[in-house]
Amino acid sequence: MKLTDLQNEVSGVWEEKGYELPSYDREAVKKKTSEAPAWVHFGAGNIFRAFPAELLQRLLNAGEYDKGVIVAESFDHEIISKAYKPYDSLSLSVVLKADGTIEKKVVGSVVEALVADQAEPADFARLFEIFESPSLQMASFTITEKGYSIYDGKGNILPVVEAGFQAKPEEQGHLMGRVAALCYRRFQTCGAPLALSSMDNCSHNGDKLKAGVMAFVDAWIKNGIVEPAFGDYMKDEAKVSFPWSMIDKITPRPDENVKNMLEADGFEDTELIITNRNTYTSPFVNSEETGYLVIEDRFPNGRPPLEKAGILFTDRETVDKVEKMKVCTCLNPLHTALAIYGCLLSYTSIHEEMEDAQLSALIEKMCYQEGMPVVVDPGIIDPKEFADAVLRLRLPNPFMPDSPQRIVTDTSQKLPIRFGETIKAYEASESLQVDSLTLIPLVLAGWCRYLMGVDDEGKPFEQSSDPRLDEVKKYVADVRLGEDADEHPMDVHPMDVHKVLQPILSDETIFAVNLYDAGLGEKVEGMFAELTAGTGAVRATLLKYTA
């Protein structure tokens, strides 16, 4: 059983083994898409194949639509050359349900895969052709929050961006410059409307996309590279829109256990690919069953009828509420808490953490007792039902191979939204007191403890990547667990915890507030002292506060 077998006569063994195959004429879909493309997507990673592409597959199977999606990748070219082109852009979606059942679907909705880089001139020329087509309705993105950034961690413009500001549109090294160039070609040729729709898991993602693209547009106009009328086109929401969205679906790296299961079926396309840029991919993608995609319905040139596949289209205010509900209360803070303490307690899977009485109590109480009083109810999704599904079905799912080590990546960038917004809501409340918070400060103290890079048994562990890790961990570099104090004299003593943590806890760029001004700094300091009292102190502190 190979994906490319589907180009020929299909063996009945696929159905016998429980594989759902495309039920439409894929060659006809390819032809219609090539002649009049409607949707191009930037970001060829696992989340795209497991979610937006699979949703489009549902439309095609149901006969509700007749075009596919074209995918383009700018960051890691090997994804295209190794995970798409050898398989005719087909992939296998493996859905791992909490009840132990498995759904296996061959996804054929992706009909063309391109490298969005001048290094592949034929592919890049094809992208220009696509953007010249009046039929194109949307360009969507899952490129991670970093993909939109035109500044480095210190607020300086990236050299590749600065160079792009001075260069011709067709000579861009940053994806935001390339997207601006593609839009310029559209403006020059057909001038038709277009939606640029971010589907990345970050707050107000449409604004991040718009800021990145418009930085190039404005610079080119200022430098006389393009005409001012192009700026008018890009700023006219009847011509170019940047809708907000909220996406929620856990899509871990391709898993060895899933690979073995598929091979037992006789499915052969199971290579686990690690690219030179450290991307983990495969011809198959594994994901959880639950998924939400809520999008602001601003598509000036129309859009595929994706509401028939389960996407919720609504207004910007509602998207914002859904995003805040998820990111500030009902999922992301719980993930971060498990990630931090999972590393400290040497767990390697999220579902195993959910079997830990203290860790499950930590996130349940933090969610229901501290988060829910200030949760934003979006109306279209019930916060309590959403949280119940997270805590009862999604995180405990033993078939989801997700790890705290993956989730703890870039935590310094996540803390302001995931916890800072709740703290600010307490500050603004007339009935709630910030000093009543206990479990949120415990998570923040846990992150400071994580910066030491030593687990609860006193053993070093490798910290996950984070743009501010080197900057902040230096503040705790001389702190030792209490039992080691005599062997490793500290530059600071337990009574000087304030000296150690003050630079971190007062940093509003990390927590969205100065924790001392908010009335939580001293509480976090005290908890940090407890967490560093010796080996076993992390477990003892969790027991104390979650009992």
Which three-class secondary structure state does DSSP give residue 458?
coil
Distances (CA, A) of 402 to 200, 252, 322, 398: 19, 6, 24, 10
Question: Which residue, 11, 9, 97, 23, is CA-closest to 57?
Answer: 23
Q: Under a CB-based contact definition with an 8 Å cutoff, are residues 475 and 504 in contact?
A: yes
The overall average pLDDT reported for the chain is 93
Sign (positive or negative) of CA dihedral 482, 484, 485, 491 = negative
Residue with tokens 């806890």: 505
Question: Could you tell me the two tokens for 113?
Answer: 């895969």
> Does residue 172 surpass a pLDDT of 90?
yes
- pLDDT tens figures, 287-335: 998 899 999 999 999 999 999 999 999 999 999 999 999 988 899 999 9
pTM score, whole prediction: 0.84
> Does residue 484 surpass a pLDDT of 60?
no
Distances (CA, A) of 374 to 325, 371, 381, 419: 9, 6, 16, 12
Give the type of residue at 105. Answer: K
Q: Under a CB-based contact definition with an 8 Å cutoff, are residues 343 and 455 in contact?
A: yes
Task: Tell me how many degrees the CA angle 312-315-320 measures, rounded to the nearest 5.
Answer: 90
- pLDDT tens figures, 17-75: 999 999 999 999 999 999 999 999 999 999 999 999 999 999 999 999 999 999 999 99
- d(Cα 348, Cα 455) in Å, to the nearest integer? 13
Which three-class secondary structure state does DSSP give residue 434?
helix
pLDDT given at position 492: 43
pLDDT given at position 495: 46
**For the chain, first and last CA: distance in Å?**
52
- d(Cα 393, Cα 388) in Å, to the nearest integer? 8
Distances (CA, A) of 447 to 328, 450, 513: 17, 5, 16
Q: Quick one: average pLDDT of 511-528? A: 96
> Does residue 490 surpass a pLDDT of 80?
no
Extract the runs of DSSP E, i.e. beta strands, from 215-301. Answer: 240-241, 245-248, 273-274, 280-281, 284-288, 292-296
- d(Cα 311, Cα 252) in Å, to the nearest integer? 21
- d(Cα 216, Cα 256) in Å, to the nearest integer? 42
Q: Under a CB-based contact definition with an 8 Å cutoff, are residues 150 and 174 in contact?
A: yes
Burial of 227 (0-12, 13-18, 19+ CB in 10 A): middle
Sign (positive or negative) of CA dihedral 470, 472, 473, 479 = positive
Residues in the chain: 547
In the chain, helix, strand, coil percent, each to 5?
50, 10, 40
Question: Which residue, 280, 139, 145, is CA-closest to 201?
Answer: 145
Query: What is the DSSP secondary-structure string of 325-390?
Result: HIIIIISHHHHHHHHHHHHHTT---HHHHTTSHHHHHHHHHIIIIIIGGG----SSS-HHHHHHHI
Instruction: Count CA within 13 A, CB hemisphere, residue 483.
Output: 8
Instruction: Please report which confidence band the pLDDT of residue 482 belongs to, taking 50, 70 and 90 as the band edges.
Output: confident
- pLDDT tens figures, 440-455: 999 999 999 999 999 9
Instruction: Please report which confidence band the pLDDT of residue 6 belongs to, taking 50, 70 and 90 as the band edges.
Output: confident
- Beta bridge partners of residue 106, listed in sequence order: 92
> Does residue 485 surpass a pLDDT of 50?
no
Question: Could you tell me the two tokens for 158?
Answer: 């990236």
- d(Cα 56, Cα 50) in Å, to the nearest integer? 11
DSSP state of 393: I
- pLDDT tens figures, 215-230: 999 999 999 999 999 9
Least confident of 104-118, 143-157, 189-203, 460-474: 143-157
User: What's the longest Cα–Cα distance across the chain?
Assistant: 75
> Does residue 493 surpass a pLDDT of 90?
no
Residue 8's contacts (CB-CB under 8 Å, 6 or more residues apart) are: none
Q: Under a CB-based contact definition with an 8 Å cutoff, are residues 327 and 205 in contact?
A: no
Q: What are phi and psi of 138, to 5 degrees?
A: -150, 145
Torsion angle of alpha carbons 75, 81, 47, 408, nearest 10°? -50
Give the type of residue at 294. Answer: V
Instruction: Please report which confidence band the pLDDT of residue 533 belongs to, taking 50, 70 and 90 as the band edges.
Output: very high
